[in-house]
Chain A
């Protein structure tokens, strides 16, 4: 099986989020980058498991500049065979999806995987867009994937339940929690990653359909009102009369 996994870099989950240039740009000062957890823990690891079980290759793809290379190497250290980077600023979702589909359309991948969303933009858009542009089915929010020959069985999160679906290859999925378990790269993987191919490809031209004009931090809480643990009637009273949530 030939699998393409979309990988993006995001600030470490403990990062303090701040903005500069009049709140128009993310403040990268002191920020560590990691592979987006949904891309790494679930999509990439499940792809590797499938290939380990029945052969094939796992290629990662990233739309980004050379500052993405360390996170791409991390994905290679975990076990991907090779990586592709489309050399462009990932301006908006459609632009990114278009780059990925332009690359994938001639490569005959059986499966294209993304994380369910990135933890910086939380857009959850790329997988569905790539599927549409490649005219493939899209299994969103998949938490389980089993393969039997030419057919895949998946479980996905839907409103109020879990849906079991079947689909023939090729298709696109977005991976959510449950699909696999995080893998820590070992020394051999890290060494091998240094020499694995990372192919840098120029982007194709596309207009930006959206842009972020400004960021803002949520209003801070005004402070916590402490209550006597023996007097929960008072808490109920406040929830009813002060904040009116019950």
Chain B
């Protein structure tokens, strides 16, 4: 059965890319389609995770949704791919539905498990913003599956790779990118394994230093509750929850956040949750693995110091 994985390479191979390739190796021999001018060294790294054939499209000027989905469709045709896999990241959300609609293929977006294949082909995905899980059965021969970041652990599985260049007429598409404003060098929230988040309990934007210190010593990404983003203490892209970014890191540390149902919806897929709150009755403690009843202004610096000691002892 032919598996086609779409990977987008900015500078290096992302964790999301490794996850999707690993997912693919469970379904068959993995072919990858990508575009741009990544070095052969970066392309070959995909072989460490089990990708056998890499098709790379070099001459792309404007990798917009129309062009990239055309690229995928050409690759699907060429390989007669049955499984079409991509990451449910921002790119995946713009490309996956286009490709699925064109192929009239069933599309599971945000898969959190490998498929169960008996008589049917069923994949689990989060619904109700993480408050529940749905088993989605795909009825078509071709299947487009996008995998939620941080759901599958990348597995090293080195194979020989062959890299070939791919040329097709992809047209132009109409969207033109005129600028890209980076959000900083940190790991983007949806991909982050460690997240430090804070809420209204921090009292004002000037107090975020202690949150950032902890994040820096852990190598974590920062997040916040909705009111904190709404009143402009923190940027919108840090807002997690039902109406913000949904995340599932290994560790979520929440300081001064009450744990409203809408907040929990976006974070309760986290493997381990640590809650720091002055109020022992805060609802968040019900969803926590570890709780600290205390003042964030005292606890956060102490936790940062403890992390720093721990890191020093590991060296």
Q: Chain A: residues with CB nearer than 8 A to chain B?
A: 11, 13-14, 17, 19, 37-38, 92-94, 97, 116, 119-129, 131-133, 137-141, 143, 153, 156-168, 171, 174, 177-178, 207-218, 221, 224-227, 229-230, 232-233, 235-240, 243, 245-246
Inter-chain contact A128/B236, CB cutoff 8 Å: no
Q: A94-B101, A122-B129, A139-B175 are in contact. Are A159 and B303 (CB under 8 A)?
A: no
What would 11 more interface pairs be, CB under 8 Å, given A211-B136, A224-B286? A97-B97, A137-B66, A164-B178, A165-B64, A168-B174, A213-B135, A221-B289, A224-B285, A229-B299, A232-B306, A246-B310
Inter-chain contact A214/B135, CB cutoff 8 Å: yes
B91 in the interface, Cβ–Cβ < 8 Å? yes
The dominant DSSP class at the A interface is mixed
Inter-chain contact B133/A218, CB cutoff 8 Å: yes
Chain A residues closer than 8 Å to B302, beta-carbon distance: 229-230, 232
CA distance A216 to B126 in the complex (A): 10
Inter-chain contact A245/B89, CB cutoff 8 Å: no
Inter-chain contact B120/A213, CB cutoff 8 Å: yes
CA distance A76 to B204 in the complex (A): 38
The CB with the most chain B CB atoms within 10 A, among A210, A226, A229, is that of: A210
Chain B residues closer than 8 Å to A243, beta-carbon distance: 271-272, 289
B26 in the interface, Cβ–Cβ < 8 Å? no
Inter-chain contact A167/B176, CB cutoff 8 Å: yes
Inter-chain contact B127/A93, CB cutoff 8 Å: no
Chain B residues closer than 8 Å to A164, beta-carbon distance: 177-181
Chain A residues closer than 8 Å to B97, beta-carbon distance: 93, 97, 124-129, 131-132
CA distance A243 to B289 in the complex (A): 10
Inter-chain contact A158/B250, CB cutoff 8 Å: no
Min Cβ gap B38→A in Å is 15
Query: 1/0 contact trace for B149-179 toward A, CB 8 Å?
Result: 0000000000000000000000001111111
Inter-chain contact B137/A17, CB cutoff 8 Å: no
Residues of B in contact (CB 8 Å), total: 103
Inter-chain contact B292/A161, CB cutoff 8 Å: no
**Which of B28-36, B41-49, B53-61, B239-247 touches A?**
B239-247
The dominant DSSP class at the B interface is mixed
5 tightest Cβ-Cβ pairs between the two chains A and B: A128-B97, A229-B294, A140-B94, A209-B106, A232-B306
Query: 27 A-B residue contacts at CB 8 Å?
Result: A17-B128, A122-B125, A129-B101, A129-B107, A131-B65, A137-B65, A137-B66, A138-B66, A141-B90, A162-B181, A164-B179, A165-B64, A177-B239, A210-B107, A210-B136, A215-B132, A216-B135, A218-B131, A221-B286, A224-B286, A225-B291, A229-B294, A230-B302, A232-B299, A232-B303, A233-B310, A239-B274
Q: A159-B10, A235-B306 are in contact. Are A212 and B90 (CB under 8 A)?
A: no
